[in-house]
Copies of this chain bind each other. A is one copy, B any other.
Amino acid sequence: MMTISLIGSGNLAQHLIVAFQNAEKSGSAIRLIQVFARQKEKLTHLLHQDKITTDYTELKEADLYIIAVSDDAIKSISSQLSFQNRLVVHTSGAVAMDTLDNKNRKGVFYPLQTFTKNKAVDFKTIPICLETENTNDYAVIEKVAQTISDAVYKIDSEQRKALHVAAVFVNNFSNHLYQIGNEICNNNQIPFSILQPLIQETAQKIIDLSPQEAQTGPAIRNDQNTIAAHQALLTHENHKNIYTILTQSIQNNGKKL
C-alpha cells in the first residue's frame, strides 16, 4: 500500500484528488491519506474534513508528498515542510526539480494537460511525466502514476522544459488563434459556432497524420493571390503581423503535399 499526501487545493489538486479517489475505489494499492489546504472549505465537497489539514506541522507520514500549487509557491512550500528525507514532488512543467528544498528527496510528477474547473477529465489518457533525483524513488512515483494514467513517461528536466514550451505552442497559442478567429467572426456578424467543427477536425486530423502531412491552405500551396487578399482584408495590424509571420513560417519549412 502506497500512501499519498497532497498539498494544494486549486484546479489540478482537485482533479488529482478525484483521480486518486477513483483509483482507490477501483482497488489500486494507493491511499490518499491527507490533503493540505490553506482554506479547508475549498475541498470539503471532495473530502471528509478530517482528511484536510491547514497546518504543515500536522502532515502525517506518507510515502509520497505531491505539491500541486502554482509555480511561484513551490519553493517556499517545500521549505516549510517540517520533516526531512521523505519523497516530495511538484507537478509543474516549468519549474526545475532542484527548486524543491534540499531537506527532502526530490521528484516531479507533471500531468501534461489543461484542466478546467468543474469539468471532469479522464485521467487515464493524460500523460504524466516523471522524474526523480534517486533511482529508487522512481519506482514509487511510477507505481502511483500508473494507478491514475495509462500514459506514464520518464522525462528528465531538460526534456520537460522543452515539452513545456511545446505545450505553450499547441495549447496557449492555438487557443489564441481560436480567439482571433472568434474576433474576425464577431466583426463580420458571423456566429463563432460555424468554426467549431473545423477546429475539432483540425485537432483530430493529426491523430492519423503528422502535422506536416496535414498542412493545407494558401501558404503551403504558395497561393499568392489568396495570401495577398487575406492580408488586405486584415485591418487589425496585430492580426496581419501574425498572419504574415505564420504564413512565412509554413512556407519556409513545409513541403507542398
Separation of A159 and B194 alpha carbons in the complex (Å): 12
The verdict on A223 contacting B71 (CB below 8 Å), with A174-B177, A185-B163, A217-B171 known, is: yes
> Is A233's beta carbon under 8 Å from chain B?
yes
Residue of B nearest to A124 (CB): B197
Residue of B nearest to A178 (CB): B211
> Is A151's beta carbon under 8 Å from chain B?
yes
Separation of A238 and B251 alpha carbons in the complex (Å): 12
Residue of B nearest to A176 (CB): B250
The verdict on A172 contacting B94 (CB below 8 Å), with A199-B206, A211-B182 known, is: no
Q: What are the residues of chain B within 8 A of A229 when measuring CB–CB?
A: 94, 161
Separation of A121 and B197 alpha carbons in the complex (Å): 11
> Is A129's beta carbon under 8 Å from chain B?
yes
Write the nearest CB–CB distance from A72 to chain B, whole angstroms: 8
Q: What are the residues of chain B within 8 A of A163 when measuring CB–CB?
A: 184-185, 188, 190, 194-195
> Which stretch (A2-10, A54-62, A109-117, A134-142) binds chain B?
A109-117
Q: Of B155, B189, B239, B250, which contacts A190 at CB under 8 A?
A: B155
Write the nearest CB–CB distance from A246 to chain B, whole angstroms: 5
When the two chains form their complex, are residues B178 and A170 in contact, meaning their CB atoms are under 8 A apart? yes
> Is A241's beta carbon under 8 Å from chain B?
yes
> Is A252's beta carbon under 8 Å from chain B?
yes
A residues contacting the other copy or chain, number (CB 8 A): 91
Q: What are the residues of chain B within 8 A of A180 when measuring CB–CB?
A: 166, 169, 249
When the two chains form their complex, are residues B197 and A112 in contact, meaning their CB atoms are under 8 A apart? yes
Q: Mark A204-227, 1 if CB is under 8 A from B, else 0.
A: 111111111011111110010010
When the two chains form their complex, are residues A177 and B181 in contact, meaning their CB atoms are under 8 A apart? no
> Is A198's beta carbon under 8 Å from chain B?
yes
Write the nearest CB–CB distance from A13 to chain B, whole angstroms: 16
When the two chains form their complex, are residues A202 and B203 in contact, meaning their CB atoms are under 8 A apart? yes
The verdict on A233 contacting B162 (CB below 8 Å), with A181-B169, A202-B171, A249-B242 known, is: yes
Separation of A32 and B191 alpha carbons in the complex (Å): 31
> Is A29's beta carbon under 8 Å from chain B?
no
| Given A94-B229, A175-B202: 12 more A-B contacts, CB < 8 Å | A114-B216, A116-B214, A163-B194, A165-B184, A167-B195, A172-B215, A172-B246, A174-B203, A179-B210, A179-B212, A192-B210, A196-B206
The 4 A-B pairs with the shortest beta carbon distances in the complex, nearest first, are A172-B217, A203-B203, A179-B211, A178-B211
